[in-house]
Amino acid sequence: MGTKRLKLAIQKQGRLAEPSLELLRKCGISISNGPGKLRSEAANFPLEVYFLRDDDIPEYVADGVADAGIVGANILAEAPSQVETVESLGFGQCRLAIAVPKASDVRSVDDLAGRRIATSYPLILRKFLDSRHTEADIHEISGSVEIAPSIGLADAVCDLVSSGSTLFSNGLREIETVMRSEAVLVARPDQDRSSETILGQFLFRLRGVLAARQNKYILLNAPAERVDEISRILPGMKSPTILPLAEPGWVSVHSVIGEKDFWEVVDSLKLAGAQGILVLSIDQMIR
């Protein structure tokens, strides 16, 4: 028996595959993946990755073949299973939306009554239509949903959308968002002690990476007499670090702030005399 490893299932090929590996790399966990590879052990962390089809991941986790997995929230909502969502991961963002041909007389969900809707997400769509007290004919198809209206198979579609260009190039217009989705980390609720310990260590790193993504490290030069003003503008975690520069009367100011906040205050910083502003990415933020 080797040492115990946490078994993490990720998508083998597709939209979530590379971002999942990238997230592991950011956590300092290097995984080698090659074509045809089903399993890979991390060299520097007690973790083993299984490469699977995304639809299979929740069941593998529920059955204990894997301890945790990365999958779109849309998959979980369509096929409920005994796994819990531990963390939202901030990639794979998309929405499940209803769309109709541009020339259709359907304007709203109400207008869908009695119409035929093609989708790979019949359960989510059924619940949504029920909540709107609308009865429509749900036609389940497994792929190329967007072409269903043009071949006369359906009056509308309910499909995942990210940029919207697939809908556009198929002459469809969105009328309603049914659900928003992104990649999430799922785990089995009843882990054994050792995998729970490793999962905890993994989550510690993961949360550091996720927190860092929303923050920036700001460096700027400022006239010493305006440092109080600048410190008030920077909505940092704590008061900024202030270091003297070689040039008399000037200091360097360092702070960590939310990326969104930074863009709101950048003009005020410049007005307060800030120069040479550097905005740096942060890899990890351990609180």
Site for ligand PRT, rule CB under 6 A: 11, 13-16, 53-55, 72, 74-75, 92, 94, 146, 159-166, 181
* Closest alpha carbon to 119 in 101, 142, 99, 89: 142
Other C-beta atoms within 10 Å of 25: how many?
12
Told to check if 155 binds Zn ion by CB under 5 A, we report: no
Query: What gap in Å lies between CA 17 and CA 111, rounded to an integer?
Result: 38
Residue 115 binds which entry of Zn ion, ligand PRT, none, CB below 5-8 Å type-dependent: none
Query: What gap in Å lies between CA 252 and CA 227, rounded to an integer?
Result: 9
Told to check if 54 binds Zn ion by CB under 5 A, we report: yes
Q: In the complex with ligand PRT, which residue's Cβ is closer, 170 or 255?
A: 170
Query: What gap in Å lies between CA 244 and CA 246, rounded to an integer?
Result: 7
Least separation in angstroms between CB 279 and ligand PRT: 28
Single out the residue of 5, 17, 28, 55 in contact with Zn ion (rule: CB under 5 A): 55
3-state helix, strand, coil in the chain (%, to 5): 30, 30, 35
Residue 275 binds which entry of ligand PRT, Zn ion, none, CB below 5-8 Å type-dependent: none
Q: Is 150:118 a contact under the CB 8 Å cutoff?
A: no
Other C-beta atoms within 10 Å of 117: how many?
26
Q: In the complex with Zn ion, which residue's Cβ is closer, 55 or 176?
A: 55
Count of chain residues binding Zn ion (CB under 5 A): 2
Q: In the complex with ligand PRT, which residue's Cβ is closer, 55 or 176?
A: 55
Other C-beta atoms within 10 Å of 230: how many?
22
Residue 148 binds which entry of Zn ion, ligand PRT, none, CB below 5-8 Å type-dependent: none
Of the candidate spans 54-62, 96-104, 188-196, 279-287, the one that interacts with Zn ion by CB under 5 A turns out to be: 54-62
